[in-house]
Structure 1
Amino acid sequence: MVTVLGVDACPGGWLTVELRDGCFAEARAVTTLRSLLPVAASGGVAVVAVDMPLGLLETGWRRADTEAAALLGPLRGSVFRVPPRAVWLEATYAAAAAWTAHRIAHGHAHSLPSPPEHDADGRPVAIWY
């Protein structure tokens, strides 16, 4: 039997869905990712898949994101690269936005849609990643 856990953020913590041999087995809410470690270790869980694990890296990019983007070639824009922890710890939105703006200015960010749409004042309207 192969057991996997899918994990996604939700209000108050994380929602986990357990599959056994591809079939739904259980869903539960936990307050921390760390609380899943004993569950994963004791139950023979083959994979714990976390959707957009925000702020887990101190610097740089997740290897999984980089490899997935390379594998997808022209569709690499569908991989949402998660910024390092420093961005999530910024005290203000403006500071986090400045980090993102630096990436955009240096050609390291992409937009959805691409090219971005513009609002009535000519500002780009998009999700930047």
Structure 2
Amino acid sequence: MTRVLGIDACKAGWVGVLRTNDKITALVAATLAQLIHQAEHSHPAATDAGARPLEPIAVIAIDMPIGLPDTAPRQADVLARAAIGRLSSSVFTTPVRAALQAPTHSEAVLINRELTGQGLSIQAYGLRAKLFEVDEWLTHATTRVVEVHPEVSFAYLAGAPLTVRKSTWSGAERRRALLADAGIPLSGDLGLAGHAVGVDDVLDAGAAAWSALRVAEGQAISLPNPPETFTDGRPAAIWV
């Protein structure tokens, strides 16, 4: 039994798509640690509860930068943009760690520009809490964790970059069909009724779960290959 988990950030905190063989479960939690705890103890169906011990999760894939750069843009971000073409604006340039540690956006811009020659968007700076939540959790993670970018995963699933955004009906349906064909069917309420989780967040978590499965089965590739390593010592690459 192969269990993999794909994770995306959302307004409620974090959303995960857990795949246990061909069973799909969606989970939501305010913190990353809570979400992973839910996943580790989640049975694919009520009839399975107590039948046998759960296998550990083989791979967790998360749509959040792992490995923060020191003085230059990450190759992972550069290669991800190239892989998705028209929708490349969905890949933000990961700020350097020192900029993210700055207490204000204006200070972060100055630090990032001094070290990399580039500014820093308010959107990228706004992710700092989630970035550092992942960064801290990784210090005691026992499961293999990889970084993914959903649009890169969708491009590989489709065999070419997608051109319609998932915020549109046709874009969402295209991505849902691609995932279903790849063994990640996202239909019904998935247990998400009552949760403030957007369609795009669930699709992204599903794409992350697909990439996690590829990693678990030894079929995935990394961008770049081999991954970069910065002073934080974490391999920086987007897996697909």
Relative to the length of structure 1, the TM-score reads 0.52
Whether the 8 Å CA contact 1:3–1:46 is kept in 2: the answer is yes
Counterpart Cα distance in 1 of 2:33 and 2:97: 17
| Residue 51 (structure 2) pairs with residue 52 (structure 1) | no
Deviates most, 9-18 or 83-92? 83-92
Q: What is aligned with 2:20?
A: 20
8 Å contact from structure 1 (residues 17, 28) kept in 2: yes
Q: Which one has the bigger strand percentage?
A: 1
SS at match of 1:101: helix
CA change 1:24–1:86 in 2 (3 A) is farther
Listed as ranges, the matches of 1:81-120 within 5 Å are 82-83=94-95, 86-105=98-117
Q: Return 5+ residue gaps in structure 2 as ranges.
A: 42-53, 82-90, 119-240
Identity across the alignment (%): 32
In 2, the alpha carbon distance for the partners of 1:51 and 1:17 equals 12
Q: CA RMSD in A?
A: 3.4
Change in Cα spacing, 1:37 to 1:27, as seen in structure 2 (3 Å) is closer
> CA separation in 1, counterparts of 2:92 and 2:113?
16
Paired residue secondary structure (1:35) = helix
Gaps of 5+ in 1: 107-129
How many residues end up aligned between the 2 structures? 93
Q: Which residue identity lines up with residue 11 of structure 1 in the other structure? A: K
What is the CA distance between 1:18 and its match in structure 2? 0.8
Aligned to 2:131: none
Distance 1:41 1:19, change over 3 A: closer
Contact 2:3 2:59 in 1 (8 A): yes
Displacement of 1:97: 1.2
Q: Distance in 2 between matches of 1:89 and 1:97?
A: 11
Please give the TM-score of this superposition, normalised by the length of structure 2.
Answer: 0.31
Distance 1:88 1:104 in 2: 13
Q: Match for 2:79: what amino acid? A: R
Asked if 2 retains the 8 angstrom alpha-carbon contact of 1:52 and 1:82, the reply is no
SS at match of 1:9: strand
